[in-house]
Amino acid sequence: MRISQTSSSANEPGRTRLLAAVLALLLIAAALFSLCVGASGTSLLTGLADLLRGVSSPAARIVRYIRLPRVLAAMLAGAALAASGVLIQGVLGNPLAGPNVIGVNAGAGFCTLLCACLLPSAAKLLPAAAFSGALLAALIILLLADRMGASRITVVLAGVAISSIFSAGSDLITTLDPDATLGMSAFMIGGFADVSAARLRTAAVYILPALAAALLLAGDLDVLALGDEVAASLGLRVRRTRVLLLAVASVLAGAAVSFAGLLGFVGLIVPHAVRRAVGGEHRQLLPLSMLGGALFTLLCDTAARTLFAPYEVPVGILLSLVGGPFFLFLLLRSRKGARI
Amino acid sequence: MIELNRMTFGYASGAPLIAGLSARFGDGRIRAVLGPNGSGKSTLLRLCARQLTPASGTLRVGGQDAAGYDAKAFARMLAYLPQSRPVPMITVRALVAHGRFPHLGMTRRLSARDEDAVAHALAVTGLCSVAGRDLRTLSGGQRQKAYLAMLIAQDAPHLLLDEPTTYLDIGHQLELCAILRALRDEGRCVVIVMHDLAQALSLADDVLLLHEGQPLYDGPTDGVVPSGAIEQAFGVRPVLRESVQFDTILR
């Protein structure tokens, strides 16, 4: 017996596939465009053409060593942060949640400051410090929450407590050693101005497997969204699944923070926008959010480095200036009942 | 068959909610679990569903020790619908398909058999026409039927439901009862915590009446009124008249 599908507003596989195809095409187009524009202005298509032909012209080098890492960085960070946002919001059943809830931002900020204070000359270590800080904070919160039964509310409360401890640590360092904060504003705002291929490679080693793991776990996340009791009665091991999903989310956010700084806003607005288009099923929401996050971050970064070239606006500022009003627009539209 | 043997459960800070309770719920029967508020009805159901771990006592499901099943194998044996749960932003069809979760492999893809089970569950509950609708846009009665359809798709021989008809209008209540009877007639063991005495007495084959974690009555529905257990538990006297029967109108 087959059931005829009535027309539906959301969760339709065809709609998801179409949207995925559109986003992927836009992403490719945006990446190519972004490779062709930049402050140097001269190269345009020639660099790309030289690169493809294997000619080592200055234009080709600009594309290969400056623009390509930057384009990849924006896409990688955008996809990772959006995926992390989807996971955390799904696990905690809270649309306001983000990486900051599991202490990623506070932990990364603290360890970056600590590193800048203790080893002022070792700027190279800052990304590693940010990553380990993010993971450390998330790990403490997960262990605490797991001991207390890993309910949604204990995760959030443990996150608030640990974040405030790390923030206090950051404030203490700032007070004792104001010089440590000199290079910090770029990190706090977030951006890709000094991303390098090597730094990106390290982050990608963590982000790509974590994205794959997230996609594999999306089905379990859908079951978790039915509530703890229903999920358990369907045979899902609720506590283990929740901790695992949060661990994947913290690796994603932590690795992104390590080279992009605190760009957390992407993880809030991209999942929201995608949810409006395809509904709340994570098997559809997650891959589309990855594409959407990559596209949105890449577009903002391209604008950030070309609008006022040769000057550059940190992308964190642009993301919030563009994303904030867009987010409010979505909220207003849903209030009017345009879409639930 | 669900068998409880000397089950005891309580939270650290108080007297046990269930103390040394033994009971047996047979296949092909509807069992109503009745009792005043706080008598341990929902706790008993959660213990049977392994949602709570008893302090002592054993649980056997389908003739085997329940502790021997892994999470998914247990979910294939026993389905449980809690009284309250969040309403996710998914379609009816997607919700019903989640009932197949314990049957899926690592890839989490629905096989043709799973698809058939989902289609059957939607048809039995009369939800085919709203299968593509967002769960949150349905009425309470339809939403409850959607959850029941999820349980039917789960296809377990034992079904536990915590107050499935509470807050529903009479039409939906009777529809739900008819579906539950059909599940019983397939030979399943159906255990329902109920609030509405009159409805329980008309639906159930057997009754377990709890009072402060102890069984006051455990046996066929016909015997519960004469036994006087209802007066003892609720402090009200049931009066039997020529009964007014409601029946579902086939639409």
Reference B34, options B222, B236, B208; nearest CA is B208
Assign domain B2-234 to its CATH superfamily. Answer: P-loop containing nucleotide triphosphate hydrolases (3.40.50.300)
Whether residue A235 and residue B76 make contact (CB cut-off 8 A), yes or no, is yes
Look at residue B226 in the predicted model and tell me its pLDDT. 86
DSSP string across A5-60: PPP-SS--HHHHHHHHHHHHHHHHHHHHHHHH--TT-S-THHHHHHHHHT---HHH
For the stretch B213-250, pLDDT in tens is: 889 999 999 888 888 888 888 888 877 666 555 555 54
Give mean pLDDT, residues B43-62. Answer: 93
Query: Which residues of chain A form beta strands (DSSP E)?
Result: none
| Contact residues, chain A, for B96 at CB < 8 Å | none
Q: Which of A11, A233, A236 comes nearest B91 by C-beta?
A: A11
| Contact residues, chain A, for B137 at CB < 8 Å | 340
Whether residue B85 and residue A229 make contact (CB cut-off 8 A), yes or no, is yes
Whether residue A1 and residue B130 make contact (CB cut-off 8 A), yes or no, is no
Q: What percent of chain A has pLDDT over 70?
A: 89
| Contact residues, chain B, for A237 at CB < 8 Å | 71
Three-state secondary structure along chain B?
CEEEEEEEECCCCCCCCEEEEEEEECCCCEEEEECCCCCCHHHHHHHHCCCCCCCEEEEEECCEEHHHCCHHHHHHHEEEECCCCCCCCCEHHHHHHHCCHHHCCCCCCCCHHHHHHHHHHHHHCCCHHHCCCEHHHCCHHHHHHHHHHHHHHHCCCEEEEECCCCCCCHHHHHHHHHHHHHHHHCCCEEEEECCCHHHHHHHCCEEEEEECCEEEEEEEHHHCCCCCHHHHHHCCCCCCCCCCCCCCCCC
**pLDDT bracket for residue A1 (50, 70, 90):** very low
A205-213, Cβ contacts within 8 angstroms, sequence gap of 24 or more: A206/A131, A206/A251, A206/A252, A206/A254, A206/A255, A207/A76, A207/A79, A207/A80, A207/A251, A207/A252, A207/A255, A207/A256, A210/A80, A210/A83, A210/A248, A210/A251, A210/A252, A210/A255, A211/A79, A211/A80, A211/A83, A211/A252, A211/A290, A213/A248
A152: tokens are: 């949604």
| Contact residues, chain B, for A235 at CB < 8 Å | 71-76, 101-102
Which stretch of A7-11, A300-304, A320-324, B178-182 has the lowest confidence by average pLDDT?
A: A7-11
Look at residue A226 in the predicted model and tell me its pLDDT. 92
Distance from CA of B91 to the nearest CA of A (A): 7
Does the CB of B193 have a partner CB in chain A at under 8 Å? no
Residues of chain A contacting B, Cβ within 8 Å:
1-12, 93, 219-220, 222-223, 225-227, 229-230, 232-237, 275, 279-281, 340
Q: Which of A2, A9, A230 comes nearest B85 by C-beta?
A: A230
Instruction: State how far the alpha carbon of B54 is from the alpha carbons of A290, A296, B17, B47, B196, in Å.
Output: 43, 51, 11, 7, 28
For the stretch B135-168, pLDDT in tens is: 989 988 899 999 999 999 999 999 999 999 887 8
Please, which residues 104-163 of chain B have a Cβ atom closer than 8 Å to chain A? 104, 108, 116, 119-120, 122-123, 128-134, 136-137, 154
Whether residue B88 and residue A280 make contact (CB cut-off 8 A), yes or no, is yes
The CATH code of domain A13-335 reads 1.10.3470.10
Tell me the Ramachandran region of residue B84: left when phi exceeds 0, alpha when psi lies from -120 to 50, beta otherwise. Answer: beta
Instruction: State how far the alpha carbon of A14 is from the alpha carbons of A20, A122, A171, in Å.
Output: 10, 51, 51
Which stretch of A48-57, A63-72, A97-106, B49-58 has the lowest confidence by average pLDDT?
A: A48-57
The angle, 0 to 180 degrees and rounded to 10, between the axes of the packed helices A104-118 and A238-260 is 40
| Contact residues, chain A, for B123 at CB < 8 Å | 1, 3
Report CA torsion sign: B77, B83, B86, B92: positive
Query: For residue A335, is pLDDT > 60?
Result: no
Domain range list for chain B: 2-234
Instruction: State how far the alpha carbon of A247 is from the alpha carbons of A224, B93, B170, in Å.
Output: 16, 30, 47
Distance from CA of B113 to the nearest CA of A (A): 11
Residue with tokens 């524009």: A37
Structure-derived torsion over alpha carbons of residues A124, A125, A127, A131, reported in degrees to the nearest 10: 170
Residue B79, number of CB atoms within 10 A of its CB: 25
3-state SS assignment for residue A193:
coil
Give mean pLDDT, residues A275-285. Answer: 88
CA distance A22 to B122: 33
Look at residue A2 in the predicted model and tell me its pLDDT. 38
Look at residue A45 in the predicted model and tell me its pLDDT. 67
A23: tokens are: 């986003």
Query: For residue A240, is pLDDT > 80?
Result: yes
CA distance B102 to B5: 27
Q: Which of B79, B82, B102 comes nearest A229 by C-beta?
A: B82
Whether residue B86 and residue A93 make contact (CB cut-off 8 A), yes or no, is yes
Give the number of A-B residue pairs with CB atoms closer than 8 Å. Answer: 104
Exposure b/e, B11-24, CB count within 10 A at least 16 = b? eeeeebbbbebebe
Mean of the per-residue pLDDT values of chain A = 82
Look at residue B24 in the predicted model and tell me its pLDDT. 93
Terminal alpha carbon distance of chain A: 32
Distance from CA of B129 to the nearest CA of A (A): 7
Does the CB of B69 have a partner CB in chain A at under 8 Å? no
B interface mutation test: which of A234, A237, A334 has the most B CBs within 10 A?
A234
Query: For residue A286, is pLDDT > 90?
Result: yes
**A338, burial (CB in 10 Å: exposed 0-12, middle 13-18, buried 19+):** exposed
CA distance B158 to B187: 9
**pLDDT bracket for residue A334 (50, 70, 90):** low
Provide the residue type at B34 as one letter.
Answer: L
Q: Which of B82, B101, B134 comes nearest A223 by C-beta?
A: B101
For the stretch B69-120, pLDDT in tens is: 999 999 999 999 998 888 888 899 999 999 999 999 877 788 999 999 999 9
Query: For residue B192, is pLDDT > 70?
Result: yes
Structural contact between residues B30 and B179, judged by C-beta atoms closer than 8 angstroms: no
Which stretch of A31-45, B23-37, B51-65 has the lowest confidence by average pLDDT?
A: A31-45
Give the residue on B whose Cα is nearest the Cα of A7: B132
Whether residue B119 and residue A6 make contact (CB cut-off 8 A), yes or no, is no
Q: What is the pTM of this model?
A: 0.86
Residue with tokens 């950051």: A170
Give the residue on A whose Cα is nearest the Cα of B48: A233
Give mean pLDDT, residues B37-59. Answer: 91
Look at residue A236 in the predicted model and tell me its pLDDT. 94
**Cα-only R_g, chain B:** 18
Instruction: State how far the alpha carbon of A178 is from the alpha carbons of A113, A126, A175, A262, in Å.
Output: 10, 17, 6, 20
Reference B97, options A222, A279, A90; nearest CA is A222
CA distance A301 to B248: 62
Whether residue A229 and residue B119 make contact (CB cut-off 8 A), yes or no, is no
Whether residue B81 and residue A233 make contact (CB cut-off 8 A), yes or no, is yes
Q: Which of B71, B104, B122 comes nearest A3 by C-beta?
A: B122
Query: For residue A339, is pLDDT > 90?
Result: no
Whether residue A222 and residue B82 make contact (CB cut-off 8 A), yes or no, is no
**pLDDT bracket for residue A79 (50, 70, 90):** very high
Look at residue A95 in the predicted model and tell me its pLDDT. 77
For the stretch A148-201, pLDDT in tens is: 766 777 778 888 888 899 989 988 988 888 877 766 777 777 788 778 888 888
Look at residue A68 in the predicted model and tell me its pLDDT. 86
Does the CB of B67 have a partner CB in chain A at under 8 Å? no
Whether residue A234 and residue B75 make contact (CB cut-off 8 A), yes or no, is yes
- Give ipTM to 2 decimals: 0.89
Query: For residue A310, is pLDDT > 80?
Result: no
Give the residue on B whose Cα is nearest the Cα of A229: B82
Distance from CA of A9 to the nearest CA of B (A): 7
> Strand pairing partners for B2?
B25, B61
Distance from CA of B236 to the nearest CA of A (A): 34
